[in-house]
A and B are shown apart, each in its own frame.
Chain A
Amino acid sequence: MFYREAGQFKSTYSADMAVFPIWQDRVGIAVILVLAFIGVPLIGNDFFISSVMIPFLVFSLAAIGLNILTGYTGLISLGTAAFMGVGAYAAYKLTTAFPGINIIVLVLVSGLFSAAVGVLFGLPSLRIKGFYLAVATLAAQFFLQWAFVRVPWLFNYNASGAIEVPQRTLFGLPITGASASPETRYFVCLVLVIGLTWFASNLVHGKLGRSWMAVRDMDIAAELMGIKLLNAKLTAFAVSSFYAGVAGAMMIFFWYGGGEAADVFNIRLSFNILFMVIIGGLGSLIGSFFGAAFIASLPTILKFGLPALGVPLSGAAAEHVTFMLVGALIITFLIVEPHGLARLWQIGKQKLRTWPFPY
């Protein structure tokens, strides 16, 4: 009743192949964008914006990156956090070397460095796949994490051994550093995430995305059809690491602010992003957002939500419950709904389409 496509005729191929073919979908996206740009800053307080919304945006971007590699191309990576770290450190090196260039440009450029490193560690994927590749990406994880601590050049020989995020401005407003307000940082993240999501959507719906999916579904058949495995796999690694790198740079510059940089990009973060992709839905961009929202908010919900409902739960216990719940949910999703939350969303829309008559 609310979600009906009757009367919406498509008279061109491009209308038929559109990403959002139904006007309700387009209205829905518009509502979400209005909420994100106007609603959240108006309603949310500083705490909500800086410790819920900004992490959500950063994780969404990282999850999109990993989804391109794992969901669309079928290559498992356990090194996402390391590639995020490459982005963060590259952005730091660039902004200290070229203070005149706008930080947003540098954040995007640092993604290219991450992409280069990603391709380097993706090279073994040409000979190996599956579990073997997962180990290869673990090599990236441990090596890069080591480098962040042990190579002083990366953090400009700071005595603290960590990144110190300098203040950078956009149109006179500080957007990084201690004096940047949560709202401005949120807006910068939001614009970057929306822009890059749009770019990713175009990629996965285009020729490149189709070749990735062909490789994922059956690499030998893809090769027979003339898809170059080398190109497909390495571009997947490059694009995926680019997204991870930008997410990592955003994480340090717009969320954490430096100090913890060396510890943040650990294997736990890699796993968490993999879980976002699994729970959100493999091979789905909107699923990346769902997964990020879910995994990022779960600890907060358990910590603050359950006591509010009258269930006493200490901080440590909440952490244990989070672990158990995440583990159980991954198994549940793999068994019951391998396509994750994104598929549930689709089913929901389908139900709304025929509501109130189920058939």
Chain B
Amino acid sequence: MVQAPDLLAQTIWEGLVSGVLYALIALGFVLIFKASGVFNFAQGIMVVFAALTLVGLYEKGVPAFLAVILTLGVMFALAVTIERVVLRPLVNQPDIILFMATFGITYFLIGFGEALFGGSPKQMITDQLWLPKGAIDLKLFGGLVSLQKIDIAAAVIASIMIAALAAFFQYTRIGRALRAVADSHKAALSVGISLNQIWVIVWFTAGIVALITGIMWGARSDVSFALEIVALKALPVLILGGFTSIPGAIVGGLIIGIGEKMGEFYWGPLIGGGIESWLAYFIALGFLLFRPQGLFGDKIIERI
């Protein structure tokens, strides 16, 4: 007789895992927002697109690790294209216009991805990428918790990536340039920072984050355009954590992930279930009302 998993601990663990994955998507948003002031609505679809490209290439007979490298190439090409076609003509436009332009990117990538790889869900190539499989049963709080190895791997990879990104932003020359661009396009241009180059770098970085997120998400469920809706969960995470803060994205992701799993588990059945679809937004909304800048965000000071 196998002991039943301890439900509270299991719920918290599942919340933590989905929180890490939300945080990864949110991280892509934060990167681009921090470095170019663009609120990139397309980050969710970039995750799907990266995962689809990877699986699609593998299905065409490319070895798994070569496919990863080729996908990175595709993400780089995407970054260059977006910079040339979308961002360069829109320099110094209001933020809201750039935001809407990323809607255009979203729709274009949906159509493009489906035309290239088809709209049907695909299996992520977990084995070929040497990602661990199976589960560990752990005694925790007097109960049994089942941990998927892939989730642990996701958490570890996410932590490494976050540390690397934080160091990149804080200590390198390019990182400083990125922060300068975020403060003001014009000022950065006038001190000789190449805006175009910075944009390509930051969108490519977001592309790498998207690929890793895509692999991790894809390993848990299928790779399909349904992920697009899941990616919208990153928005409340951002609000909670603050738009410009990498640690904020992580903490926000964990809060939202645990909060919505706990909510779904304990209160969901009382009012019909499925409350996961909106609980995150309400947590964020309630939070916004008394702290609009988020947990770690920069306080916006408005002067006349």
Chain A residues engaging chain B, CB cutoff 8 angstroms: 74, 76, 124, 127-128, 130-132, 134-136, 138-139, 142-143, 145-146, 149-151, 220, 224, 267, 271, 274-275, 278, 316-317, 319-331, 334-335, 338
Query: Is B90 a contact of A335 with CB atoms below 8 Å?
Result: yes
In angstroms, Cα B238 to Cα A134, docked, is 12
9 chain-A/chain-B pairs, Cβ below 8 angstroms: A76-B96, A139-B281, A150-B274, A267-B229, A274-B100, A320-B115, A324-B111, A329-B104, A331-B85
With A and B bound together, what is the CA distance between A329 and B95 in angstroms? 19
User: Once the chains bind, are B103 and A271 in contact (CB under 8 Å)?
Assistant: yes
B57 within 8 A of A: no
Describe A's contact surface by its main secondary structure: helix
**Ranked 4 nearest A-B pairs via Cβ:** A323-B111, A327-B108, A327-B107, A139-B281
Stretch at the interface among B160-168, B179-187, B205-213, B284-292: B284-292
Residues of A within 8 A of B104 (CB): 326-331, 334
B58: CB under 8 A from chain A? no
The answer to whether A220 and B304 have CB atoms under 8 Å apart is yes
Decide if B272 is an interface residue (CB 8 Å cutoff).
yes
- CB neighbours of A220 from chain B (8 A): 302, 304
Give A266 Cβ to nearest chain B Cβ, in Å: 9
Q: Kindly report which residue of chain B lies nearest to residue A323, judged by CB atoms.
A: B111
Contacts of A326 in B (CB 8 A): 104, 107, 111
Minimum Cβ distance to chain B for residue A318 (Å): 10
> How many angstroms between the C-alpha atoms of A132 and B281 in the bound complex?
11
Contact of A334 among B90, B95, B107, B229 (CB under 8 A): B90
Please tell me if B110 contacts chain A, counting CB pairs below 8 Å.
yes
B169 proximity list for chain A (CB < 8 A): none
Using a CB–CB distance below 8 Å, which chain B residues touch chain A?
Answer: 39, 85-86, 89-90, 93, 95-97, 99-101, 103-112, 114-115, 119, 229, 232, 235-236, 238-239, 243, 271-275, 277-278, 281-282, 284-285, 288-289, 292, 302, 304
Contact status B97-A338, CB under 8 Å: yes
**Contact in complex: B86, A331 (CB < 8 Å):** yes
Complex contact B109–A131 (CB within 8 A)? no
A76 to B115 alpha-carbon distance, docked (Å): 30
Chain B's closest residue to A320 (CB) is B115
Q: How far is the CA of A325 from the CA of B108 in the complex (A)?
A: 7
Task: Report which residue of A74, A274, A335 has the largest number of chain B beta carbons within 10 angstroms of its beta carbon.
Answer: A335
- Known A76-B96, A150-B274, A323-B111; contact A138-B288, beta-carbon cutoff 8 A: no
Contact of A139 with B284 in the complex, beta carbons under 8 Å: yes
A150 with B278: CB separation less than 8 A: no
Residues of B within 8 A of A267 (CB): 229, 232
Q: How far is the CB of B296 from chain A (nearest CB, A)?
A: 15
Given A76-B96, A143-B282, A324-B115: A128 in contact with B292 (beta carbons within 8 A): yes
A295 smallest CB distance to B (angstroms): 11
Smallest CB–CB gap between A33 and chain B, Å? 33
**Most chain A CB atoms below 10 A, which of B107, B115, B282:** B107
Taken together as a complex, chains A and B put the C-alpha atoms of A16 and B216 apart, in Å, by 64
